[in-house]
């Protein structure tokens, strides 16, 4: 193991957010699996001996039914970050006033639910823009984590559109989902994207720029779990050779299967039993600990040379 930093994050997208993005009916009642999945995630992290950052959707934090389970996250020692209020992957289309309202609502709800002021942000669907980043600086955020430096974002978007129930006008709003081709040439290591703001990209495989987050590994695992592990091993080998400290992204669906949430059977890899998924998560976390010092996104920012001053986690 080296002293080089790495990070682990969970985009805590809830059931309703997936249903909304997919165009499924019933999302407006805000169905939730947080009471089921958050304890699984926390136990997996505890057994792996790592801390992580949870990007929380403000609307979930605003609902009384979710507050107890969300409070358990910082109580277990993990960082709380902002994932927007309504999880709409078209923040780049928001006006300045709409962005202000979104951040006001999200930050207030997250603070009331968790007692923590978020100082990290990730746009839903990797949605971002100069206006979003300018607002992050004005509001005192330390880092953004909205860039996904891959060359296959357009292919992933096309696959999503093909399998979704969205009308054409809704697809147009999601036209930048998963980023653009130009993102594939952006840096993999944390860097100052503009004065006062660090960018911590979601790590993709060095050289090839293909995804290595858990949902993609599980997509491969649907065909062959040994293939998924071999793919991960290659990615980590290339990270070591190129000096990249990985920032690993997880989602709740990496811990759930279709027996847990039958309404989510449309999502890739939901037929894989949840325990097999968790075994793969633990394998990736174990390999991170072998070669890096994994922690929260704020840990990654601090060890990358960002002055975080008196930031409150």
Say how many domains are in the chain: 1
Q: Confirm whether 177 is domain-assigned.
A: yes
Q: What pairs with residue 294 in β-bridges? A: 6
More confident residue, 221 or 181: 221
At residue 176 the predicted structure's pLDDT band, cuts being 50, 70 and 90, is low
Do the domain assignments include residue 258?
Answer: yes
* Predicted pLDDT at 157: 45
CA distance 132 to 153: 20
Residue 313 placed within a domain: no
How many CA within 13 A on the CB side of residue 45?
A: 28
Q: What is the pLDDT of residue 165?
A: 57
Residues 84, 58 contacting (CB under 8 angstroms): yes
- For 296-309, what is each residue's pLDDT tens digit? 999 999 998 765 55
pLDDT at 311: 46
pLDDT of residue 21: 82
Query: What pLDDT score does 22 carry?
Result: 82
What pLDDT is recorded for position 23?
82
Please, are residues 6 and 245 in contact by the beta-carbon 8 Å criterion? yes
Condensed to tens digits (0 to 9), the pLDDT of residues 134-144 reads 999 999 999 99
The domain in which residue 38 lies consists of 5-303
Binned at pLDDT 50, 70 and 90, residue 184 comes out as low
Report field, pTM of the whole predicted structure over 0.85: yes
- The answer to the question of residue 308 being in a domain is no
Give a yes or no: residue 310 inside a domain: no
Does residue 309 belong to any structural domain of this protein? no
Give the C-alpha distances (Å, rounded to integers) separating 221 from 37, 187, 237, 248, 262: 20, 27, 19, 17, 20
Q: At what angle do helices 64-75 and 96-114 cross, to 10 degrees?
A: 70
> pLDDT band at residue 310, thresholds of 50, 70 and 90?
very low
Residue 60 has phi, psi (to 5 degrees) of: -65, -40
Q: In 203-273, where does DSSP find H-type helix?
A: 214-221, 225-242
232, part of any domain = yes
* Residue at 187 is within a domain: yes
CATH number of the domain residue 76 falls in: 3.20.20.370
């Amino acid at each position: 193991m080296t002293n080089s930093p790495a990070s682990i994050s969970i985009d805590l997208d809830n059931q309703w957010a997936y249903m909304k993005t997919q165009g499924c009916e019933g999302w407006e009642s805000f169905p939730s699996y947080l009471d089921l999945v958050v304890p699984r995630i926390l136990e997996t992290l505890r057994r792996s001996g790592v801390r992580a950052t949870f990007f929380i959707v403000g609307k979930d934090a605003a609902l009384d039914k979710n507050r107890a389970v969300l409070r358990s996250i910082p109580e277990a020692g993990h960082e709380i970050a902002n994932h927007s209020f309504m999880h709409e992957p078209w923040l780049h289309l928001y006006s300045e006033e709409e962005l202000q309202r979104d951040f006001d609502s999200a930050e207030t709800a997250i603070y009331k639910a968790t007692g923590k002021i978020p100082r990290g942000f990730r746009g839903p669907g990797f949605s971002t823009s100069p206006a979003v980043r300018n607002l992050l600086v004005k509001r005192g955020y330390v880092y953004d984590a909205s860039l996904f430096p891959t060359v296959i974002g357009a292919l992933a978007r096309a696959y999503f559109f093909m399998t979704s129930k969205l009308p054409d006008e809704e697809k147009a709003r999601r036209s930048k989902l998963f980023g653009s081709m130009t993102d594939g040439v952006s840096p993999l290591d944390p860097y100052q994207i503009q004065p006062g703001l660090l960018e911590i990209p979601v790590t993709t495989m060095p050289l090839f720029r293909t995804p290595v987050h858990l949902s993609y590994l599980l997509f491969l695992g649907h065909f062959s779990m040994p293939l998924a592990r071999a793919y991960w091993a290659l990615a980590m080998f290339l990270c070591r050779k190129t000096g990249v400290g990985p920032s690993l992204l997880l989602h709740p669906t990496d811990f759930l299967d279709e027996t847990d949430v039958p309404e989510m059977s449309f999502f890739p890899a939901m037929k894989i039993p949840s325990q097999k998924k968790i075994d793969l998560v633990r394998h990736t976390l174990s390999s991170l600990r072998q070669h890096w010092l994994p922690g929260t996104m704020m840990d990654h920012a601090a060890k990358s040379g960002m002055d975080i001053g008196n930031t409150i986690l």
